Each structure stands twice: as C-alpha cells, then as structure tokens.
Amino acid sequence: MTGKLTTHVLDTARGMPAAGLRLTLRRLSPDPLGPCDFTLGDDGRATLIESPTLESGLYEIVFLVAEYQRENRLDLPEPPFFDEIPIRFGIADGTAHYHVPLILSPYGYSTYRGG
C-alpha cells in the first residue's frame, strides 16, 4: 500500500469547492522539511504527498483562507476573523492514506481525519 496525504476544502459561504485556495505544507518533526506550496484544483482537492512510505512525524498545513476569500469577493472585515488556518496533525503509519478535509466559512471551520 502507498502512503498518501490529501486534502479537500469546501467553501460553505459560496456552496462549492474552494478552487484556487493556496496552502503550505511543512513537516515539523522529527526532521523539519518544507515549506511546500500548493494550490487546490477546480474540485478543491490536492494530493500533497504520495510515496511508498510517508515519513512519520508531526505535520502542519496552513490554509491561506483570507486571501482566497478576498479573491472571491467575500466581504471580510479588516483584519479578517481568520487570516490563515493552521492544522497540525501526526502521521504514524507511513503506508496509510491521511486525508485532511476543511469545511470553511468566513467565521468558522471544521476539520477531521477523512479516509
């Protein structure tokens, strides 16, 4: 089985995938790596890592949400309530599929480990 790290962002304010949202991936420990920059496709999805084995450790994805919301003409206060959303998570099994979805609005978000 191949190790895989993916994400999917749904924009509930617009009722659609968050196409074009930019994010940054870093491995924080044990050996720091990154940052690696990504832009979500038209379906709001991205494969961040696909490898025979993922390196176990602590990772962080930072979603650049205010930038995305401004580009899509959402009316945000200054400063925005959420500028960036960092999500830190651990990878223990290098052969598993780790999916980190984000459900997004200007004043709230939700995440979980998907499959």
The strand order across the sheet containing 22-29 reads: 33-39, 22-29, 57-63, 85-91
Domain count, the chain: 1
Per the structure, the complete domain to which residue 21 belongs is given by 3-111
Q: Is 41 helix (H, G, I), strand (E, B) or coil?
A: coil
The whole-model pTM stands at 0.95
What are the tens digits of pLDDT across the range 3-52?
Answer: 999 999 999 999 999 999 999 999 999 999 999 999 999 999 999 999 99
Residue 115: its pLDDT value, please? 80
Residue 1 has pLDDT above 90, yes or no: no
17 token code pair: 């995938």
Is residue 99 pLDDT above 90, yes or no? yes
Q: Please tell me whether residue 59 adopts helix, strand or coil conformation.
A: strand
d(CA 81, CA 43): 25
Q: How many residues does the chain have?
A: 115
Q: Which CATH number is 78's domain given?
A: 2.60.40.180
Name the pLDDT band for 111 (thresholds 50, 70, 90). Answer: very high
Distance CA 46, CA 62 (A): 14
